[in-house]
Amino acid sequence: MRGRLHEIIFEADTAAGKAFDLVLVWCIVVSISVVVIDSVAVIHQNYGRLLHRIEWFFTILFTLEYLLRLFCVRRPLRYATSFFRVVDLLAILPSYVSLLVPGSHSLLTIRLLQVLRIFRVLKLSQYLSEARVLISALKASQRKISVFLLAVFAIVVIIGSIMYSIEGEAHGFSDIPTSIYWAIVTLTTVGYGDISPQTPLGKALAPLVMILGYGIIAVPTGIVGAEITR
């Protein structure tokens, strides 16, 4: 029986294995959809009880699947500590925790981690080697990017201090931290618009900060790109 279950659960080349993976993918998609839909206040008020039952159905289903996987492998403890098994465990724990800790029902959003299981089910884990290339490039660029971020931090502090001196409290720049916040928002070209310069000198400085932001954003891209090429 263990061999047969192992063939169905782990071997996707067989007809039973393909059917199992297909059902599992749909269960993941539906269970995540239920969690997302239940977060809408109107839907939760009208269909909360039904959605709660559906959540428990999938919790029990995924729990059985988790236990069957441990039953099929030779080294259950080693298998349980693998990345995807930890994801599976985190996906089902919130429902059981909610029975012991009232108010922890919101932890069900952790079930969104089940999206990662689709990588395993659809055999996309082979592409993780490409991700390792990006991680290696980021590690190699770590010092350069750290120096760059320190320089950016110094720039926003200087710009924020200058803008505080120019605009002052009368125009919304009540203190230097608020002015630094404006400098970061402007430098990153986000532009929330909650604070904006009103004086001619402040308006002249703002475009320079915006243009500087475009140049600064390109720097880390070039650093990481150079390491990938190397």
What's the CATH code of the domain at 55? 1.20.120
pLDDT of res. 116? 67
Confirm whether 52 is domain-assigned: yes
Query: pLDDT tens digit string along 188-207?
Result: 888 888 889 999 999 999 99
Domain match, 12 and 74 both:
yes
Contact 187, 219 (CB under 8 A): no
Domain match, 158 and 109 both:
no
Domain match, 148 and 106 both:
no
To which residue do tokens 């749909």 refer? Answer: 26
Give the domain range for residue 213.
135-229
Residues of the chain under the 70 pLDDT cut: 12, 102-109, 111-112, 114-129
Q: What does pTM read for this prediction?
A: 0.58
pLDDT of res. 230? 82
Long-range contacts of 190-198 (CB under 8 A, 24+ apart): 196/172, 197/163, 197/166, 197/167, 197/171, 198/167, 198/171, 198/172
Domain match, 147 and 213 both:
yes
Say which residues have a Cβ less than 8 Å from residue 32's Cβ, sequence separation at least 6. Answer: 111, 112, 114, 115
pLDDT of res. 124? 60
Domain match, 108 and 219 both:
no
Domain match, 99 and 195 both:
no
Confirm whether 102 is domain-assigned: yes
- Percent residues over pLDDT 70 in the chain: 87
Domain match, 99 and 162 both:
no
pLDDT of res. 209? 92
